[in-house]
Structure 1
Amino acid sequence: MFIINLHYIVPLEELDAHMDAHVKYLKKYYEADVFLMSGRKVPRTGGIIIAQADSKEILETIIAEDPFFQHKLAEFTITEFLASQAHPGLKALLRD
């Protein structure tokens, strides 16, 4: 499991010009069962994506498709973690 942390580095107006393409990108990877949850930070300084992938390298390739990455609108950091506990509704996501 991974936490992708986005930190916006441009004014929100510039970011919003690419929001539709970013949402389309997110939907692609929700449909592929890579992204599990995402949303804006409060205050709106970036975003968080919770993802699952076989490796950090695969996830880095996926992130390279994000318009926010391609247009250098945000800095991305990836934190890998081993999920050992989860809410009962999310237990199917835990890997042995």
Structure 2
Amino acid sequence: MFILDLSYIAPVEAADAHMDAHVAWLQQGYDSGMFLASGRKNPRTGGIILARGERAAVEAFCAADPFTQHRIAEYRITEAAVSRTAAGLEALKG
């Protein structure tokens, strides 16, 4: 599993201007089965995505995010080997 830590490097207004394209990109991630969960950070400085797949594919997909392409945000990708989960979250295991 991967934790995708998205941090804004541009004003939040720039993110708002490209939010529809980013949300469409997120949907592609869910449709492909790569994304498991996502949401905004609080305070709103970026977001977090839980993903699965091959690292190279995850990195390539993050590079295609409109937020990345328009230099609105940067990703920090952390790989985690999940060994235990609460009931119902077994999909997070490796």
Structure 1 length-normalised TM:
0.93
Q: Tell me the alpha carbon deviations over residues 20-78 of structure 1, each in whole angstroms, 9 at most, x when there is no partner.
A: 0000000011011100000000000110000001x211111111110001111011100
Residues 84 and 64 from structure 1, CA distance in 2 versus in 1: closer, same or farther, beyond 3 angstroms?
A: same
Question: Aligned equivalents of 1:76 and 1:5: distance in 2?
Answer: 6
Q: Which residue of 2 aligns with 1:2?
A: 2
The equivalent of 2:46 in structure 1 is: 46
Q: Structure 2 length as normaliser, TM-score? A: 0.95
Distance in 1 of aligned mates of 2:14 and 2:92: 35
Q: RMSD of the TM alignment (CA)?
A: 1.0
- The CA deviation at 1:92 is 3.9
CA separation in 2, counterparts of 1:29 and 1:93?
15
Q: Structure 1 stretches of 5 or more lacking a match?
A: none
Q: 1:67 maps to which residue?
A: 66
Alignment of 1:1-96 (within 5 A): 1-53=1-53, 55-95=54-94
The alignment covers a number of residue pairs equal to: 94
Measure the CA separation in 2 of the matches of 1:93 and 1:16: 30
* Structure 2: runs of 5+ lacking an equivalent: none
